Amino acid sequence: MKSDNNKKLTSYGDPGFSEFIRQAFNRHLGFDQEDFKKPVIGICNTKSEINRCHTHIGPLIDAVKKGVLMAGGIPLEFPTISLGEINTSPTTMLYRNLAAMDTEEMIRAQPIDGVVLVGGCDKVTPSQLMGAASADIPSIMITGGPMNNGEYEGRTLGACSDCRFFWQEFRGGSITEQEKDAINKELAPTAGHCMVMGSASTMAVCAEALGMMLPGGAAIPATHNRRLKHAIDTGKKIVELTAKGIKPSQVMTEKAFDNAIRALMAVGGSTNAVIHLIAIAGRLGIKLPLERFDQLSRTTPFIANLRPAGKYQMEDFYKAGGAPAVLKELESILNVYELTVTGTTLKENLEGVTVSNVYRDIIYPFEQPLHKEGGIAVLKGNLAPNGAVIKPKAASKELLHHRGRAVVFSSTQELEKSIDDPSLDVQADDILVLQNAGPVGAPGMPEAGMLPIPQSLLKKGVRDMIRISDARMSGTAFGTVILHVAPESAVGGPIGLIKTGDLIEVDVEARRIQLLVSDEELANRKQQWSPPVIAQRGYAHIYQKHVMQADEGCDFDFLLAPQKEKVR
């Protein structure tokens, strides 16, 4: 039975007049009154020329509309905030919660029975899933898809792993200005989001594993005709979901989040997904502790050979079968009886899915994985009492158990000013530490965690060091980078008490990160610490007053749903 959500009326104190005026204004769209007795499907339009990853979404929305009309619904698109990673200052993470609120409130306020979430770039997909989880009407996710591969002199390029790689090489003097500019022209050759397993691709895979996207949708290239077919199918399916009354809370269950975490670990996905999945779950009253990510990582094989932790890119992943192929390999450890937006279970969705031996270098067998454990590890210790994360498969093996001297930067501004200063006292076996770059401190937790290697060391051939911060890093980034340290510096976390010269020990296998300073000394330093001044007005004020820590998903404390009882 169709919901009566589209019967909601603006309140003028007279229900009859409210309906009368709505009918009068809606005639502008060319619909008759009878048309609005059909399922009304809202389409979140995040198209933006500033967000280049969403510039191609117009035709995708047109295709969704066709599907809705074919299935007997009425499609109505409406705009919501578009967050483009590259052009948004200071960081899109500052605005993820604002986009989530926008999505939720527009779904709640408007006369729609179901909604299609059209996302793509890093923070858009999680913000839409957060908003849809809170609004909880029939919803389905579709993303814009990854770019095609770039190429330079026979070398495959991937945005933005190669943006970072070649910029580092340029700083180190290994490539010329002319080579840098020639490479720049080829890094992002088509419409779509980054074509490596960065945050955008990772969140699309997670959305599929959660059951919120039709099978196969995460990997179809933005330029491929099958993406438009996928969009038409999505439009048809939302009408069916509306008729059946299937809501996000029925799909994104606690067991479904376990599936998403396993998919994240199997593809070597972005560390950003840890924060986003915790936040989405929180909107449904589901608590996802960091320990759960580590538990599932230890029991999930790493099977997708994808950059930045592997060799291939999303175009290749699509040819190999995409997320359905990965989920098929993981089937024995997944919760396969969870409902999905197909209207059937994950197990039914995976029937008939196979992985061709032609593509076994891209997606490895469950029994013969690239690595026995997943792509993300959670570290704890007196430096990070509430946890920190690292991608061991994208790190240097020799640094995974290391003791070194801290070289501390108190802010991103100091980092930018000092990192290439010839007088900087730094050695290859030191550990770079960035403070005050967390959710409150930055604010917004920018992707500054992949601290640049000092130029003096780059020119000596150094290409990796341990870097620790309360910031994030792009899912396209790489190196021995420890992130999301919680509590952060700005709320009095131990990371903010580190001084240059302190010794730090990291042991990834033991999941330990330890500041080798006595408790008494840390207590003395804490007495000298004072909290930063926060913004006095506007959204930044709301953000800094109410944002939670990284291990809690960085959502606003007032947006969480009441916690559900555990079902595991």
Q: What is the pLDDT of residues 104-116, one digit of tens each?
A: 999 999 999 999 9
Q: State the first-to-last Cα distance of the chain, in angstroms, to the nearest integer.
A: 32
Average pLDDT over residues 187-215: 97
How many CB atoms neighbour CB 121 within 10 A? 27
pLDDT of residue 1: 32
CA distances (Å), origin 538, targets 88, 97, 307, 531, 544: 17, 14, 39, 20, 10
Q: Give dist(CA 46, CA 57) in Å, integer.
A: 8
pLDDT of residue 14: 87
Mean pLDDT of the chain: 95
pLDDT of residue 13: 82
Phi, psi of 219 (to 5 degrees): -105, -10
Q: Which residues contact 414 (CB under 8 A, 6 or more apart)?
A: none
pTM, whole model, 2 decimals? 0.96
Q: Which of 1-5, 76-80, 98-102, 218-222 has the lowest mean pLDDT?
A: 1-5
pLDDT category at 567 given cuts 50, 70, 90 is low
138 pLDDT more than 90: yes
In this predicted model, what pLDDT tens digit does every residue of 493-512 receive, in sequence order? 999 999 999 999 999 999 99
DSSP 497: G
Do 506 and 512 meet the contact criterion of CB atoms below 8 Å apart?
Answer: yes
pLDDT of residue 23: 85
In this predicted model, what pLDDT tens digit does every residue of 314-352 receive, in sequence order? 999 999 999 999 999 999 999 999 999 999 999 999 999
121 pLDDT more than 70: yes
pLDDT of residue 29: 87
Nearest CA to 6 among 102, 81, 107? 107
Strand 114-119's sheet: what is its strand order? 74-79, 40-45, 114-119, 139-143
pLDDT of residue 408: 98
Nearest CA to 78 among 49, 52, 96, 105? 105
Do 434 and 469 meet the contact criterion of CB atoms below 8 Å apart?
Answer: yes
Q: Give dist(CA 48, CA 423) in Å, integer.
A: 44
In this predicted model, what pLDDT tens digit does every residue of 282-318 receive, in sequence order? 999 999 999 999 999 999 999 999 999 999 999 999 9
pLDDT above 70: percentage of residues in the chain: 98
- Work out whether strand 481-486 and strand 384-390 pair parallel, antiparallel, or are unpaired: antiparallel
- Work out whether strand 431-434 and strand 466-469 pair parallel, antiparallel, or are unpaired: parallel
pLDDT of residue 37: 87
5 pLDDT more than 70: no
**Strand ranges (E), 153-253:** 155-157
More confident residue, 9 or 198: 198
Average pLDDT over residues 217-244: 98
pLDDT of residue 18: 86
pLDDT of residue 7: 57
pLDDT of residue 9: 67
pLDDT of residue 568: 56
74 pLDDT more than 80: yes
DSSP 191: S
In this predicted model, what pLDDT tens digit does every residue of 507-537 receive, in sequence order? 999 999 999 999 999 999 999 999 999 999 9
Nearest CA to 43 among 180, 231, 275? 231
State which H helix or E strand residue 380 sits in.
strand 377-381
Greatest CA span in the chain, whole angstroms?
A: 78
Burial of 512 (0-12, 13-18, 19+ CB in 10 A): middle
DSSP 300: S
Average pLDDT over residues 61-86: 97
Q: Which residues contact 430 (CB under 8 A, 6 or more apart)?
A: 404, 405, 406, 407, 465
Q: Give dist(CA 126, CA 200) in Å, integer.
A: 9
Note the Cα 20 to chain centre separation in Å.
43
CA distances (Å), origin 40, targets 5, 59, 73, 112, 161: 9, 20, 6, 5, 41
pLDDT of residue 2: 42
pLDDT category at 439 given cuts 50, 70, 90 is very high
CA distances (Å), origin 366, targets 63, 337, 360, 374: 36, 20, 11, 12
CA distances (Å), origin 6, targets 14, 106, 115, 288: 17, 13, 12, 34
